Amino acid sequence: MESSEDITRKAKSNLAFALGILPKEKRRDLTTFYAFCRSVDDLADDEDVALADRRQALAAWRRGLREGFDCPNPLQQELIELRDRHEIPNDLLLAIIGGCEDDLDKNRYQNWQELDSYIWKVACAVGLVCIRLFGCSSPASRNYAENLGRALQITNILRDVGEDLKRDRIYLPLDDLRQFGCSEDQLIRHTHDEHFVKLMEFQAKRAEQLFEEAELNITQADRLALRPAMIMAAIYRRLLSRMRADGFRVFDRRYRIGKPSKLLIGLRHLFA
């Protein structure tokens, strides 16, 4: 059984990078939480495992958080201890699992309202747990976490359009596709034309507005505590800017921010 540190290290995610500036105890807590998020997300996405088995495994996580785990693995034990010590609402952890369960049952979203409901579970709820683990005290940090969660998830959706199509998933709202003259079939055929670029630009502007709204909720009281989240925001805004400048060539490339650029972003926030 992999430890939370092993899961986080192997993921090589932007969040794992941002956590590096935290004191040891907070970093350990965030590592446990990230490992939980990564584990349930991987359960939902593992196509080598039968759908019924994935559903059962996620249901076991849900049941364990509600009733206690019969035979908990070390990560489950760590998560329960973390939840109780920080008084994390169980509903937030259950929402994260619910978002992963959505990926088993739903692969299209009709409009922004439907997509936002999904995003709240897989991103906003994650942010709301994180601000507790960061030690935030200002009520405004809740707004920060929710707006940033939406902005990060939209950026992920734009980056992963091609990858998601391989799993027959389209997260771009279907109403928006129609608004900009795109179709599901064109996405499946990787049609990169002016209509697709306008669709992606519309979503990118939505993400950028949410990044800006999040920033407005950074208070002096929580600025220091929010530094890992601010690093994440800066990395993802750079990623979003790179996709926009390159015309959203998401069908034939995967956009990344290299480690040197991440280090510069981290240093700027560390000494700001």
Q: What are the pLDDT digits (tens) for 76-110? A: 999 999 999 999 999 999 999 999 999 999 999 99
CA dist 94 and 121 (Å) reads: 9
Tokens of 57: 């495994």
Last residue of a domain, one of 105, 137, 162: 105
CATH for 218: 1.10.600.10
CA dist 62 and 38 (Å) reads: 15
Last residue of a domain, one of 72, 105, 138: 105
Is residue 262 located within the same domain as residue 164?
Answer: yes
Q: How confident is the model at residue 266 (pLDDT cuts 50, 70, 90)?
A: confident
Tokens of 263: 């280090």
Is residue 114 located within the same domain as residue 223?
Answer: yes
Is residue 227 located within the same domain as residue 94?
Answer: no
Decide: residue 254, CB within 10 A, 0-12 exposed, 13-18 middle, 19+ buried.
exposed
Sole residue written with tokens 């979203």: 109
Provide mean pLDDT across the span 11-20. Answer: 62
Which segment of 1-10, 12-21, 92-101 scores lowest on mean pLDDT?
1-10
**Parent domain of 88:** 1-105
272, pLDDT greater than 80: no
Q: What are the pLDDT digits (tens) for 166-183? A: 999 999 999 999 999 999
Tokens of 122: 């897989």
Which pLDDT does position 69 carry in this prediction? 87
CA dist 229 and 122 (Å) reads: 16
Report the 10 Å Cβ neighbour count for 247: 13
Is residue 96 located within the same domain as residue 11?
Answer: yes
Beta-carbon contacts of 257 under 8 Å, excluding residues fewer than 6 positions away, are 14, 235, 238, 239, 242, 265
DSSP 97-133: HHHHHHHHH----SSHHHHHHHHIIIIIHHHHHHHHH
Last residue of a domain, one of 90, 105, 120: 105
The total of structural domains in the chain comes to 2
